[in-house]
Amino acid sequence: MRGRRRGAAGLALGALVVALFAVAIGASTAGGERTQDGHLIVSLDGGLAPLTLPRDRPAPVAVRLAGGLQTTDGSLLPRVTRVELSLPGQGVLDTHGLPMCPTRKLRDATTDGALEACRDALVGGGRLEAQVHVPNQPPFAVHAKLLAFNGEVRGRRAVIFHGFAADPPTVVVLPFLLRLETGRLRTRLVADLPPELGPWPHFAHFEVRLFRRFRFRGHDRSYISASCPIPKQFTAGFFSFAKASFTLAGGQRVGTSITRSCRARAN
């Protein structure tokens, strides 16, 4: 692991040009938003914490995202080859002075082993569920604990997810590369599921929370910061918070997006 300086500006992440206005009374529905394509349902849920943020400057936040795929008839899930998570382009993802974890330290590591190797680079955690379909056997589910680390892959910033399941013993290291694009949800985390995973595991569900406070050169920093830049005549606002897209084996893409709210804090 190594510490590394980064451009101070940080990445645009986090959310938060607020689209309209409104109170934060739960515009979301239980279980998040869903869309259906044929017999496949894509779901996405998540949010920011805290919800009350300054209007004019970013403050530390945690981002939670949960989503996945299910079939309406309980049939086999299609294989996912790429996962893309898009987040709003305003706000800050700051890795300035935050150590990085090389993927080689995570391969073959248990959760404890990964923490031991890269604790300084930890930026979040969660869980992952996959369906495993081995020929001539009934399908079974694998529940993995996820850790998220700050990292870099081929010179590009990344959030590296380490998943470990004890039964059956499974380790997966999945780098989500950070891409900056145009549009409202212009910060994208993109992971290509490696062919080494084989044809048997089928991605089903994930839940992840990203949050990290750290200190660098005497200054308190936050991995993710956001503001709630709503007009002063309003007290709260809604914004497009996230989008999840899944590319399936065969090239078809399915996805859904969610809207969330924030409240403006009196500074």
Residue 139 makes contact with another protein by CB under 8 A:
no
Residue 265 makes contact with another protein by CB under 8 A:
no
* Shortest distance, position 86 Cβ to another protein, whole Å: 11
Main-chain dihedrals φ then ψ at residue 111, nearest 5 degrees:
-60, -45
Can you name the residues that pair with 247 across neighbouring β-strands?
A: 82, 253
* Shortest distance, position 242 Cβ to another protein, whole Å: 12
With respect to another protein, which residue has the nearer C-beta, 205 or 221? 205
C-alpha span between 65 and 147 (Å, rounded):
14
Out of 12, 22, 115, 197, the only residue in the binding site for another protein (CB under 8 A) is: 22
Residue 26 makes contact with another protein by CB under 8 A:
yes
- 148-187: contacts with another protein (CB under 8 A): 184
Out of 1, 41, 62, 197, the only residue in the binding site for another protein (CB under 8 A) is: 41
Give me 218's structure tokens.
């005497």
Residue 34 makes contact with another protein by CB under 8 A:
yes
Residue 35 makes contact with another protein by CB under 8 A:
yes
With respect to another protein, which residue has the nearer C-beta, 23 or 49? 23
Strands (E) in the chain, as ranges, are 33-37, 40-49, 52-54, 59-60, 62-71, 80-87, 92-93, 122-132, 140-153, 156-165, 170-180, 187-192, 201-210, 213-216, 219-222, 224-226, 236-248, 253-265
Q: Got the DSSP string for 19-73?
A: -S----S--S-TT-EEEEETTEEEEEEEEEESSEEESSS-EE-EEEEEEEEEETT
* Shortest distance, position 241 Cβ to another protein, whole Å: 10
Residue 25 makes contact with another protein by CB under 8 A:
yes
Residues that bind another protein (CB under 8 A): 17-29, 33-38, 41, 72, 184, 229-238, 240, 257, 259, 261
